[in-house]
Structure 1
Amino acid sequence: MKKIALFGNPVYHSKSPIINKIFSNNTNIIYSYTKVNIPKKNFFTVSKNFFYSGGYGANITLPFKKKALHLCDLLTKRAILSKSVNVITRFKNKYLLGDNTDGIGFINDLKRLFCCYTKKKILIIGAGGAARGIIPQLLLYHNKITITNRTIEKAKNISKEFKNLGKIKYIKDINLCKKKFDIIINATSCSINNKIPKLSDNIINSKTFCYDMMYSKNKTSFLKWCSKKSMNIYDGLGMLVSQAAYSFFLWHNKMPSIDLSIKILKKCI
């Protein structure tokens, strides 16, 4: 039986084990999937021990997606472009192959939600691994991205890293921005702690598509804030299932039904 794990900190809230159980039931592929909360200083030690002891694959979540690059022997083009890894698998039973399915999972969810994602003005809040995973895909569709972050130096650095892929800039104080955006994406973990980024509602209107990469049974704190001005609010549950499905394909060479899995997951939580 293949041993697969989720590495992150925190992981207590993660629905990944439930999603993978749904995938297993729907495809008749049996494997073990556990979540491992790793102390932030011990990522390499714990993850290496997992693979040395027979682990076959892993999902990587906050805050280790960038560190996971250096754990891998080989990287896919998506991982190289995003400079982060959210899934690892054994390749030829010898190497660790790192991929990033966040971007393709995100675009797949926008399609599911009938969101037009080409040539749009997009604001991304947050400059960590979650943002890195989706930026290359969004730039591929000729969008204009503005990125902001609590630590502005991170937003500045990430805009420099990806400027060769398309139009991306950072803004020091989003509250001074006078233009409104077509799409606003929360790529921070604020919603886990029931907080919201410090934002002014002058950047949002009734047509703005608001997306929180976090998810919750009820509206996240970010989406509650967005709902004051827009009805187009969505959490990251669909993206979570989509990126997990592409991870599953990497491990087992079979694609589970994303739409069916989302329906089942909503009933479970």
Structure 2
Amino acid sequence: MDRYAVFGNPIEHSKSPLIHTLFAKQTQQVIEYGRQQPDSNGFNDAINAFFTEGFIGANVTSPFKLDAFRFADELTPRARAAEAVNTLYKRQDGSILGDNTDGAGLVQDLQRLWGELNGKRLLLIGAGGATRGVILPLLTAKVQNIHIANRTASKAQQLADRFKKEGVITASGFNDLPEIQFDLIVNCTSSSLDGGLPEITPSIFINASYAYDMTYKAQATSFMVWAQECTPSIRTADGLGMLVGQAAESFYVWRKVRPKIEPIIEIVREML
């Protein structure tokens, strides 16, 4: 039986074992999937032992995505662009492939919810690792342009400069947003986890059609509520579909089978 696990610290809250077990049942695959919680500085020892013991692949979450990026023998283009790895796969020759499926998970969920992204004008709030991991897949999906807004404008500009050869991408601080309209706004910060909001003007929602929060909860997140208060006609969604989507992409990397994500999203949401 092929064995997999998710690495993180803390990790007991992770939905990955449930999601991948459901994927396996749906696609008639036989796998075992568990959790691994190394010490904060113990990732390399833990992952080496993991693969030595015969495990095939791993998902990697906070705080180990950079460690996994450095550990991999080879990186996919999207992992290289993200400068982080959330999926490791031991190939038949023994080498370790590092991939990042976060951006694919976001793009697939946005398309599932609201159709193609071609021509859309996007605002990404925040300039951390979550943002960096999704820019290339979004540009590859042929969005018209991306604007990154961050509390520290220079950090947003660094990200924009990094990807400017891939598409139209601009940046600013929260307080000096350009006077342009956005079709889709994505909150890439973790502000909603404790009921907070990004410190950005509510005018961003004027004429916007969609607002997406990468975090997720049993009820609407604070960002989703705020967006609808500002623009009642706006359509909102949380990041549960992104979570399941990135997991499905990892499952495909390992098993070469694509699970159907909508039934799994429904099951996981009922358990929140």
Tell me if TM exceeds 0.5. yes
- Distance, in Å, in 1 between the alignment partners of 2:21 and 2:271 is 11
Is the Cα contact below 8 Å between 1:180 and 1:202 reproduced in 2? no
User: Which of 262, 266, 269 is residue 263 of structure 1 equivalent to?
Assistant: 266
2:210 alignment counterpart: 209
RMSD: 2.2
1:99 alignment counterpart: 99
Query: Among the aligned pairs, what percent are the same residue?
Result: 39
- Distance, in Å, in 1 between the alignment partners of 2:156 and 2:247 is 27
Residues 125-158 of structure 1, C-alpha deviations (whole Å, 9 max, x = no match)? 1223321221112112043111123444432222
Query: Is 1:187 matched with 2:188?
Result: yes
Q: How many corresponding residue pairs?
A: 269
Structure 1 counterpart SS, 2:155: helix
2:76 alignment counterpart: 76
- Distance, in Å, in 1 between the alignment partners of 2:10 and 2:179 is 36
Structure 1 counterpart SS, 2:14: coil
> Per-residue deviation at 1:188?
1.7
| 5+ long unaligned stretches in structure 1 | none
Is the Cα contact below 8 Å between 1:121 and 1:182 reproduced in 2? yes
Query: Is 1:160 matched with 2:161?
Result: yes
Q: How does 1:1-269 map to 2 (within 5 A)?
A: 1-140=1-140, 141-174=142-175, 176-205=177-206, 207-230=208-231, 231-269=234-272
Residues 52-101 of structure 1, C-alpha deviations (whole Å, 9 max, x = no match)? 33332111223433442211001123223333322111111501101122
- Distance, in Å, in 2 between the alignment partners of 1:188 and 1:19 is 24
- Distance, in Å, in 2 between the alignment partners of 1:250 and 1:114 is 25
> Per-residue deviation at 1:116?
4.3
Is the Cα contact below 8 Å between 2:127 and 2:150 reproduced in 1? yes
Structure 2 counterpart SS, 1:214: coil
Q: Is the alpha carbon distance of 1:256 and 1:60 closer, same or farther for their aligned partners in structure 2, counting shifts above 3 Å?
A: same
Q: Is the alpha carbon distance of 1:152 and 1:60 closer, same or farther for their aligned partners in structure 2, counting shifts above 3 Å?
A: farther
Q: Is the alpha carbon distance of 1:36 and 1:199 closer, same or farther for their aligned partners in structure 2, counting shifts above 3 Å?
A: farther
| 5+ long unaligned stretches in structure 2 | none
Residues 238-269 of structure 1, C-alpha deviations (whole Å, 9 max, x = no match)? 12111111111111222212222223323333
Q: Is the alpha carbon distance of 1:158 and 1:207 closer, same or farther for their aligned partners in structure 2, counting shifts above 3 Å?
A: closer
> Per-residue deviation at 1:177?
4.2
- Distance, in Å, in 2 between the alignment partners of 1:258 and 1:95 is 29
- Distance, in Å, in 2 between the alignment partners of 1:3 and 1:133 is 26
- Distance, in Å, in 2 between the alignment partners of 1:237 and 1:92 is 32
- Distance, in Å, in 2 between the alignment partners of 1:228 and 1:175 is 23
Is the Cα contact below 8 Å between 1:108 and 1:239 reproduced in 2? yes
Q: Is the alpha carbon distance of 1:257 and 1:152 closer, same or farther for their aligned partners in structure 2, counting shifts above 3 Å?
A: same
Is the Cα contact below 8 Å between 2:192 and 2:221 reproduced in 1? yes
- Distance, in Å, in 2 between the alignment partners of 1:90 and 1:226 is 43
- Distance, in Å, in 2 between the alignment partners of 1:174 and 1:208 is 22
What letter is aligned with 1:233? T
> Per-residue deviation at 1:187?
1.3
Is the Cα contact below 8 Å between 2:181 and 2:207 reproduced in 1? no
- Distance, in Å, in 1 between the alignment partners of 2:177 and 2:238 is 26
